[in-house]
Amino acid sequence: MANWGLCQDCKWFQIEPKATAGERTLGLCIEEDLQEFRLRVSGASGCNRFTEGDVAHAKGSSSAPPTAKPQR
Ligand code: SF4
Q: What is the pLDDT of residues 12-46, one digit of tens each?
A: 999 999 999 999 999 999 999 999 999 999 999 99
- Asked whether 13 and 27 are in contact (CB, 8 A), the reply is yes
pTM of the shown model = 0.96
pLDDT score of 1 more than 80: no
Ligand 1 centroid to residue 7 C-alpha, Å: 5
Name the β-bridge partners of 57: 15
List all residues whose CB is within 6 A of at least one atom of ligand 1. 5, 7, 10, 12-13, 29, 31, 34, 41, 45-47, 49-50
Atom 6 of ligand 1, nearest CA residue = 7
What whole-number distance in Å separates Cα of residue 71 and Cα of residue 35?
11
Ligand 1 atom, smallest distance to 10 CA: 8
